[in-house]
Each structure stands twice: as C-alpha cells, then as structure tokens.
Amino acid sequence: MVELIRVGRTPEDLEKAFEPTAQTIRNWLAEADARAGRRADVLTSDERTELSRLRRENKHLKVEREILAKAAAWFARETGSVPEKSSNS
C-alpha cells in the first residue's frame, strides 16, 4: 500500500480497491516514513511498544520507591533513630 501511494495513488483510491480505510493507509505511510527516518514527529510501532514498557516500569519503580521510603521511616521509628511525630502540630 505504501509503495502504491508513493507511485501516485491516493489513500482514498486504495480504500475503494482494498479493505483498509484511507486513514489506516495514511497511518501506515506515516509509520513507514518514521522507520525510514523521513519523519521525526511520528513514533514507530517499536517505539510505541518501548514507550509503553518504560511507562509501566516507571510506574512500578515509583511504587517500589514509595514502599521503601515508608519501610525506612518505619524501621527508623522502631529503632529509635527518628523521634516520633508529635500530635501537637
């Protein structure tokens, strides 16, 4: 499909001749251009997959950090390293 567009066919022509919508064909063209380095404003499917993975990992690490901070504070209070918070505030 991408090659047909590059030789002059329009996404609308291809939509009539084949199943995918014109917008789907445009999306394929944008991804092909991104993979070829012709477009920097579009993420490739590999980049989108990596971005999703990194977002999940980032969320997981934030949760772990929060848990460790609470555990450290609890252990510090239990060992007497940090004075208890007063309720007079």
Q: pLDDT > 90: what percent of the chain?
A: 39
Q: Is the residue at 68 inside a domain?
A: yes
Instruction: State CA 28 to chain mean position distance.
Output: 19
Q: Is the residue at 74 inside a domain?
A: yes
Two structure tokens written together for 16? 């009539």
Q: Is the residue at 40 inside a domain?
A: no
- Identify the domain containing residue 29 by its residue range: 2-35
Q: Is the residue at 88 inside a domain?
A: no
Q: Is the residue at 30 inside a domain?
A: yes
**Distance, CA of 84 to CA of 59 (rounded, Å):** 30
**Band of residue 23 on the pLDDT scale cut at 50, 70, 90:** very high
Q: Is the residue at 58 inside a domain?
A: yes
pTM of the model: 0.54
The residue type at 67 = I
pLDDT tens digits along 48-81: 899 999 999 999 999 999 999 999 999 988 888 7
Q: Is the residue at 89 inside a domain?
A: no
Most distant pair of Cα atoms in the chain: their distance:
77
State the total domains in the chain.
Answer: 2
**Distance, CA of 36 to CA of 69 (rounded, Å):** 45
Q: Is the residue at 12 inside a domain?
A: yes
**Distance, CA of 86 to CA of 10 (rounded, Å):** 72
